[in-house]
Amino acid sequence: MSGQSPRSAGRPARRPQTALIAAGRPADEPGQPLNVPIVLASNFRAGGQDGTGGREYSRGDGTPGWEALEEVIGELEGGDAVAFGSGMAAIAAVLDPLPAGARVVVPTDCYAGVHALLADGQQQGRWHVDLVDITDTAAAIAAARQADLVWLESPTNPLLDIADLPALCAAARDGGALVAVDNTFATPLLQQPIAFGADFTVHSATKFLGGHSDLLLGVAVAGRPELGERLRRRREVAGAVPGALETFLVMRGLRTLALRLEQGQRSAGELARRLAGHPAVTRVRYPGLADHPGHAQAAAQMTGFGAVLGFEVPTAAAASTVCAAVRVVRSATSLGGVESTIERRARLSGQEHLPPGFLRLSVGCEHIEDLWDDLSGALAQAGA
C-alpha cells in the first residue's frame, strides 16, 4: 500500500492537521464505524478456489488497522509508510538490506539504540560505521559522499543538535548513498525529510505519535515505491509486525497529535526561556532559542521547534536530585507522552558522551505554571 491510498488519489492536498483526523477511516458508507476497529485475526478466509485473491495471513498481507495507520503516516510524510512492532524494528528494516561491507554514516549524538545496533553489525562485519558531528556540515557532507547509507537525526536525541537536511541529502545523493532520517522528535507535523531528498523517514510511534506511554510501535516511510516494498519484505520475513491493539492505540493517539504537540511545544519554548535565566542552569539546549547554534537551520527546515529540550546543571548528583525531586514532571525514560518526563541520560550505557549534569525534558500537556513550579522547586532542592 502506498502513502497515497485509492481513497485519497486525485483529492486536493489537505493540511496535516486535517489529514490526522480524516485519513485512515473506513469506507464512507451508512452503517460503517467512524474508526477502523481492532481486527484480532492472524488469518483470513481465502479469496478464490486456488487460494489466491484478497488477504490471507496477516504477517504478509497486513490487517485493516495497519493499513489505516500507514495511510495516515504516508500522507503526512509524503511517502509509502510501513508499520512495525517497534521503532527499533523499523530501524533494522532500513539497515538490514545493506550489502556486506557497506559504509554507514551516523551522528555522534543520536539514539543509543541505533548506535548499539550499528556497533553489533560492525562487530559482525556487516558494515563499517563512520561517526560524524552533524553540526559540522562540511565534514558531514564529505562523509556522506563516501557512504552507502547516511543515517540522520534532526533534532538529535538527546542533545538536540540540528542537521542541514537539504545539504546532507544532496551530498548523499551525489555520492549514490541512501539517506534515512529519524523524525521522531520533529514528527511529520514539524518536518518532512522526504521533501528534502531523504529516502526513508523513521518514527518511534511509541513516542509522540501514540502519545500516551502505553505501547511500542514503529513506522518507516519510503520515498519510492520500490523502497517501500523492500521494507515490507523485511517486515514479513523477520516477523517484525505490529500488534492489533497497539496499532489501534497509535491511531487514536494520532487524532490528537496536533493539539498535544501545540501545547507541549508552546510550554517547551517558555520553559527553555525560563531555564536559560535560572542561576542554577549552566546551559539550555532548545532549537527555538535564538542562541542555539542550529536555530537558523531549524527555522529554515521546520515549522516549529518541538516539545523536547535539554538543560544542564553543574553535577551528576545535582541532576539526579532534580529527577528525584520533581512531582508533576515524571522521572522516566522515553518521551512524547501527554505527561512531562525528565531523565539524566548520561547514567545509561552508551551515553558516555553526554555531559554528566545533562537532563532531557519531554514537555507534555500540563499547565505551564505547574511545570515551572515543579522544576524550579526541584532545582532548589538540588542546591543548584
Tell me the CA distances in angstroms from 260 to 257, 299, 335, one per residue in order: 5, 21, 13
Which pLDDT does position 51 carry in this prediction? 56
Going by pLDDT thresholds of 50, 70 and 90, the confidence category of residue 348 is confident
Share of the chain above pLDDT 70, in %: 95
Q: Which residues contact 27 (CB under 8 A, 6 or more apart)?
A: 7
Going by pLDDT thresholds of 50, 70 and 90, the confidence category of residue 119 is very high
Q: How far apart are CA 29 and CA 222, in angstroms?
A: 31
Average pLDDT over residues 52-62: 86
- Which one of 182, 230, 232, 360 is the catalytic residue? 182
Closest to 381 (Cα-Cα) out of 311, 309, 320: 320
Average pLDDT over residues 356-379: 98
User: Among this protein's residues, is 207 annotated catalytic?
Assistant: yes
User: Is the pLDDT at 5 greater than 60, yes or no?
Assistant: no
Q: How far apart are CA 127 and CA 138, in angstroms?
A: 23
Name residue, grid cell 547554534.
293
Which pLDDT does position 6 carry in this prediction? 42
Ordered structural domains, the chain, with CATH: 16-254 (3.40.640.10), 259-381 (3.90.1150.10)
Q: Which residues contact 203 (CB under 8 A, 6 or more apart)?
A: 73, 87, 90, 182, 183, 184, 187, 188, 209, 218, 219, 220, 221
- Look at the pTM and tell me if it is higher than 0.75: yes
Would you say 221 and 81 are in contact if contact means Cβ atoms under 8 Å apart? yes
336 beta partners: none
Distance of CA 317 to the CA centre of its chain: 30
Cell of 344: 539524566
pLDDT tens per residue across span 237-246? 999 999 999 9
Average pLDDT over residues 288-316: 98
Distance of CA 160 to the CA centre of its chain: 13
Cell of 110: 543520536
CA dihedral 198, 203, 209, 215 (to 10 degrees): 170
User: Among this protein's residues, is 111 annotated catalytic?
Assistant: yes
Phi and psi at residue 253, to the nearest 5°: -65, -40
Share of the chain above pLDDT 90, in %: 91
Going by pLDDT thresholds of 50, 70 and 90, the confidence category of residue 1 is very low
pLDDT tens per residue across span 258-275? 999 999 999 999 999 999
Q: How far apart are CA 300 and CA 287, in angstroms?
A: 11
Would you say 36 and 43 are in contact if contact means Cβ atoms under 8 Å apart? no
User: Among this protein's residues, is 130 annotated catalytic?
Assistant: no
User: Is the pLDDT at 197 greater than 70, yes or no?
Assistant: yes
Phi and psi at residue 117, to the nearest 5°: -65, -45
3-state secondary structure at position 25: coil
- Which one of 80, 109, 111, 164 is the catalytic residue? 111
The larger pLDDT score, comparing residue 235 to residue 52, is at 235
pLDDT tens per residue across span 120-133? 999 999 999 999 99
Which pLDDT does position 48 carry in this prediction? 63
Q: What mean pLDDT value characterizes the chain? A: 94
Which pLDDT does position 3 carry in this prediction? 42
Name residue, grid cell 464512507.
28
User: Among this protein's residues, is 59 annotated catalytic?
Assistant: yes
Which pLDDT does position 354 carry in this prediction? 94
- Which one of 55, 126, 207, 344 is the catalytic residue? 207
User: Is the pLDDT at 28 greater than 60, yes or no?
Assistant: yes
User: Is the pLDDT at 308 greater than 70, yes or no?
Assistant: yes
- Which one of 14, 59, 103, 255 is the catalytic residue? 59
Going by pLDDT thresholds of 50, 70 and 90, the confidence category of residue 46 is confident
Cell of 58: 496477516
Q: In what order do the strands lie in the sheet with 308-312?
A: 283-285, 308-312, 358-362, 341-343, 330-331
3-state secondary structure at position 339: coil
